[in-house]
Amino acid sequence: MNTISTSAGLTTSASTYSVQTASAAYGQKRPAYDDSATQQTGNEDAVSFSRTASDYSSAIGSNAPYFPIRSGMNADALILGVSRPGTVSSSKDKTFTEVATDARKRMDDKYALMNASGKPYDKSDQDRNSLMGDLDRRSLNAVATNKDGKFTAEEQDAAKGLMRQQSRLATGYYVGPDDQKKGWKDPFANDPVGRANAALSFLEGMSPEEKATPEWLSQHQTLQSALAQVDQTDPTRAAPKKHFPILAEILAESGSYFD
């Protein structure tokens, strides 16, 4: 059986994966999304609701410049994870073990495509985005936490970096290519309460596995407590005389997904 070596020291079977077929179809396919902030823990019912194609297009388009990719590939799942971290595509209807297996295969297929193009994976941000572009946040978490020992240290770090980028962009902090920074506008400038609300909303959209960690619980409780002290109907809530701590101050004692 012929194999194609990957830059991460892994191999993928050339006999079971047609590079030509994948290359022709790849740019035309988009994953099916299911908005699921949704995958609730405990006894909460899972809530799933569909979004129109235009909703997704708008959510993806607004953040696409911050996730550059190779020609012919897409990073839709990564981009959608900024505004809708709970949306599922690659991890839909899978156990966490199945999510890890699926993520491993998707990444091996991408390594094969890159090798076949004559330009192997080069560890750049563009190639990282292309490699993991169709992984929803739950799949990224499987890579970041090395579920079932399937991922290299380099891949884990790449996934962690992408998850951090999603959370930072969602709360108004720029993370992306230097040449795009000039066009970035912080939607929460002079509005620390709005930023804290955005952080809380992002936390609540995370995957069940992330929500099961002590870090998630600590940050969620800390943000809820801080926001409970503010009259959010007060239009002057952001005025200097009504000091509300910045996000880093709120989460200083509990660590942060947003650093």
Are residues 179 and 245 located together in one domain of the fold?
no
Asked whether residue 75 is assigned to any structural domain, the reply reads: yes
The count of structural domains within the chain is 2
Please indicate, yes or no, whether residues 88 and 216 belong to a single structural domain of this protein: no
Give yes or no: residues 209 and 133 share one domain: no
pTM of the predicted model as reported, rounded to 2 decimal places: 0.76
For residue 222, what are the domain limits?
A: 192-250
- What span, in angstroms and rounded, lies between the C-alpha atoms of 191 and 61? 25
pLDDT of residue 233: 61
34 is a domain residue: yes
Whether residue 113 sits in one domain with residue 86? yes
Which of 164, 161, 160, 165 lies closest to 141, judged by CA?
Answer: 160
Which pair of tokens denotes residue 139? 């799949």
Residue 141 and residue 51 share a domain: yes
176 & 196 share domain:
no
Tokens of 184: 């970035």
- Give residues with Cβ within 8 angstroms of 43, minimum separation 6: none
Q: Which of 161, 183, 205 is the last residue of a domain?
A: 183
Residue 27 and residue 98 in one domain: yes
Residues 95 and 165 in one domain: yes
What average pLDDT score do residues 124-150 get?
Answer: 98
Question: Is residue 37 predicted with pLDDT exceeding 60?
Answer: no
Q: Residue 20 domain-assigned? A: yes
Gap between the Cα atoms of 129 and 161, Å rounded: 10
- Non-local CB neighbours of 50 within 8 Å, separated by 6+ positions: 34, 35
Q: Are residues 201 and 144 in the same domain?
A: no
Q: Is residue 18 pLDDT above 80, yes or no?
A: no
204 shares a domain with 176: no
Q: What percentage of residues in the chain have a pLDDT greater than 90?
A: 63
Distances (CA, A) of 213 to 24, 80, 194: 41, 23, 25
Q: For 230-257, write each residue's pLDDT tens digit.
A: 866 665 554 444 567 777 777 766 566 7
Question: What's residue 234's pLDDT?
Answer: 62
Quote the CA–CA distance of 5 and 25 in Å, as a whole number.
Answer: 22
From 43-57, 103-117, 198-212, the region with the lowest mean pLDDT: 43-57
Whether pLDDT at 228 is above 60: yes
Is the pLDDT assigned to residue 42 strictly greater than 90?
no
Q: Do 233 and 160 reside in the same domain of the chain? A: no
Closest of 91, 88, 134, 126 to residue 109, by C-alpha? 134
> Could you report the per-residue pLDDT of 49-81, keeping only the tens digit for each?
344 456 667 767 789 999 999 999 999 999 999
Q: Which residue has the tokens 């297009």?
A: 57
- 60 and 170 assigned to the same domain: yes
259 found inside a domain: no
Lowest model confidence (mean pLDDT) among 56-60, 137-141, 199-203: 56-60
Q: What mean pLDDT do residues 83-91 have?
A: 94
Return the percentage of the chain with pLDDT > 70, whole number.
71
